[in-house]
Amino acid sequence: MGYSFQFGVIEANLDKFLQGLVLGLALAFAAIFIGTLIGLLCAFATMAKAQTPSRLVGIYVSAIRNTPLLVIILFVYFALPQLGIRLGKHESFVFSLAIYAGAYLTEVFRSGLAGVPRGVIDAGRAIGLTGFQLALCVISPIMWRNCLPALGTTFISLFKDTSLAAVIAIPELTYQARKLNTETFRVAEAWATASVLYLATCLLIAAGLRQLERRFPKF
Amino acid sequence: MNKQKFTLLAGLCATALVTGFGNAALAQDKLEQILQRGKLIVGTGVGNPPWHFRDEKGDMAGFDVDVAKIVAKGLFGDDTKIEYVNQASDARIPNIVTDKVDITCQFMTVTAERAQQVNFTIPYYREGVGLMMAAGGKYKSRDEMKAAGAAVTVSVLQNVYAEEMVHYALPEAKVDQYESVDLMYQALNSGRADAAATDMSSLQWFMKQNPGKYVDGGYGWNPQTYSCAVKRGEQDYLNFVNIAFREALTGVEFATYSKSFEMWFGVKPPEPKVGFPEELR
């Protein structure tokens, strides 16, 4: 192995790496927030008695889940402007990741809903709760409890997906690592640093979510 | 030893000496060697249009190839008498030094450092960075973009000093670095970037492939000179190649050079002025 490590160049550019990491986190946060709203809406829509919402959600989920995220990102960034829909660079990425997140989160929430015991719902009805009260006070807490572990996995996976923003020239962590790589040819150092930063961040998010799981009221 | 025998021996020695020297002289003179061989061995690459690539028929084509053909035509009166050696960029100098090729024509940038290892011919092209905009777009020229300042986004191929390169021409422009050439052009097509900045020859070739869709920014910078290279210490041969190129750029073969230039870059090179040879002024 004729490669000698030189981390000096990483040290000199550490601020850029951290800026990239923060930008990635911000993008992930925005996309996950919107994605969660989409997911909740879609998951509850499948509970409706009517068939149409369920079918529409089914189409959305299978369309998005069977398309690579990179393709969605490139489509929204490059193709939509030609069709007359122009989002800013960051907005277009958040939009892409949000609809992608929405599809996965719909499935997560649906599985959480499926785990709500029939008897609890019937009991809620029996004491005269309205549909909305039932959803908010009885079904939701149990659903959240049920899907917390799966949510954690999905959130972490979505955060890692922000690395794809590098393709459309958004200066997040992967972009910064690639840039430093082409500028200095310190290939091992650049990617090792990016990996460690991703790993550390994901472990922190996972630990946080585990804490949340532990403190979440049990039923 | 009788006189007859001595004469014979002396004669043999003399013959050996003469033919020996003759062979040595022959081996030393590259020009003579190539003429006797009857073909020119040219080192170049494949897969870099418009410089050197295989066309639809599988034949070598491109501006570098046409430049090599000028030399072959000068040598044999026939520009097909070439054997191409496909070489990577990093083999350009070694293949000359080890006599694997007679000449390398492969968009080779002339630097003083390289001139210590090989002899460069006179230049046949000057590369630079140019700006390309979509036809009918917001900006028509570099001056308009410069005036617009930070409102302008330029797409470039990710590279060392990519930002400095763009900021030399457009000091305040935003620079979006993409990892491949097609993404860089896509950014321009989708309006994500107001201009693309890359090698002038690539831009000209791209504009020629897509007529009417793009406009040239009318500004080039970051000059680098392209020359062919031959082995050091072959001054006669170098002189010959230089004469062949000079007459292609300014003399009897100008029509050939001009036709090729227009074919690959979509524009005609300036005509040499008749009368006083300007290059001597």
**A4 near B CB under 8 A:** no
Give the confidence band of B84 by pLDDT, cuts at 50, 70, 90: very high
Q: What is the mean pLDDT of residues B66-81?
A: 96
Question: Hey, CA dihedral for B226, B232, B235, B236, is it positive or negative?
Answer: negative
Q: Is the pLDDT score of B95 beyond 90?
A: yes
The answer to whether the CB atoms of A178 and B187 lie below 8 A apart is no
The answer to whether the CB atoms of B179 and A82 lie below 8 A apart is no
Tokens of A101: 């997140």
The answer to whether the CB atoms of A82 and B183 lie below 8 A apart is no
The answer to whether the CB atoms of A78 and B192 lie below 8 A apart is yes
The answer to whether the CB atoms of B190 and A167 lie below 8 A apart is no
Give the confidence band of B25 by pLDDT, cuts at 50, 70, 90: very low
Average pLDDT, chain A: 93
User: Among all chains, which residue has been given the structure tokens 């050696």?
Assistant: B85
Distance CA B184, CA B199 (A): 13
Residue B16: what residue type?
A
Do the Cβ atoms of A160 and A198 come closer than 8 Å?
Answer: yes
**B178 near A CB under 8 A:** yes
Query: CA of B31, closest CA in chain A: separation in Å?
Result: 42
Give the confidence band of B161 by pLDDT, cuts at 50, 70, 90: confident
Q: Which SS3 state, helix, strand or coil, does residue B266 take?
A: coil
The pLDDT value given to residue A186: 84
Tokens of B5: 């025998």
The pLDDT value given to residue B26: 46
* Segment 175-204 of chain A within 8 Å of chain B by CB: 175, 178-179, 182-183
Dihedral angle over CA of A209, A210, A213, A215, nearest 10: -100
A79-123 residue pLDDT tens = 999 898 889 999 999 999 999 999 999 999 999 999 999 999 999
B163-219 residue pLDDT tens = 899 999 999 999 999 988 889 999 999 999 999 999 999 999 999 999 999 999 989
**A77 near B CB under 8 A:** yes
The answer to whether the CB atoms of B177 and A169 lie below 8 A apart is yes
State which residue of chain B sits closest to A170, comparing Cα positions. Answer: B176
Q: Which residue has the higher pLDDT, A5 or A55?
A: A55
Average pLDDT, chain B: 89
Query: CA of A146, closest CA in chain B: separation in Å?
Result: 42
Distance CA A121, CA B14 (A): 118
The pLDDT value given to residue B3: 58
**HSE-up (13 A, CA, CB side) for residue B245:** 20
Q: What is the mean pLDDT of residues A27-41?
A: 97
Inter-CA distances, A117 with A112, A139, A142, B141, Å: 10, 9, 9, 68
Partner residues linked to B226 by β-bridges: B109, B125
Q: ipTM of this model?
A: 0.71
The answer to whether the CB atoms of A82 and B192 lie below 8 A apart is no
Chain A positions touching B187 (Cβ under 8 A) are 78, 169
**B158 near A CB under 8 A:** yes
Beta carbon pairs, A and B, within 8 Å = 37
Q: Are strands B40-44 and B82-86 parallel, antiparallel or unpaired?
A: parallel
Distance CA B15, CA B8 (A): 10
Partner residue facing B190 (CB), from A81, A169, A178: A81
State which residue of chain B sits closest to A82, comparing Cα positions. Answer: B190
The pLDDT value given to residue B27: 55
Q: What is A3-68 written as a DSSP string?
A: ----THHHHHTHHHHHHHHHHHHHHHHHHHHHHHHHHHHHHHHTTSSSHHHHHHHHHHHHHHHTS-
Which of B205, B213, B163, B165 is CA-nearest to residue B181? B205
State which residue of chain A sits closest to B176, comparing Cα positions. Answer: A169
Q: What is the DSSP letter of B135?
A: T
Distance CA B166, CA B145 (A): 12
The pLDDT value given to residue B278: 87
Partner residue facing A182 (CB), from B155, B160, B186: B160
User: In the structure, how many helices (H) and strands (E) does chain A have?
Assistant: 11, 0
State which residue of chain B sits closest to A80, comparing Cα positions. Answer: B190
Query: CA of B55, closest CA in chain A: separation in Å?
Result: 30
The answer to whether the CB atoms of A178 and B158 lie below 8 A apart is yes
Which of B155, B156, B147 is CA-nearest to residue B190? B155
The answer to whether the CB atoms of A81 and B155 lie below 8 A apart is no
Partner residue facing A179 (CB), from B158, B183, B191: B158
Q: Is the pLDDT score of B263 beyond 50?
A: yes
3-state SS string over B85-107? EECCHHHHHHHHHCCCCCEECCC
Distance CA A189, CA A162 (A): 21
Give the confidence band of A216 by pLDDT, cuts at 50, 70, 90: confident
Mutate to test the interface with A, among B155, B165, B186 (most CBs of A within 10 A): B186
Q: What is the mean pLDDT of residues A179-208?
A: 91
Chain B positions touching A179 (Cβ under 8 A) are 158, 177
The answer to whether the CB atoms of B176 and A169 lie below 8 A apart is yes
The pLDDT value given to residue B204: 92
User: In the structure, how many helices (H) and strands (E) does chain B have?
Assistant: 10, 12
Q: Which SS3 state, helix, strand or coil, does residue B216 take?
A: strand
Residue A189 CB coordination number (10 Å) = 22
**A165 near B CB under 8 A:** no
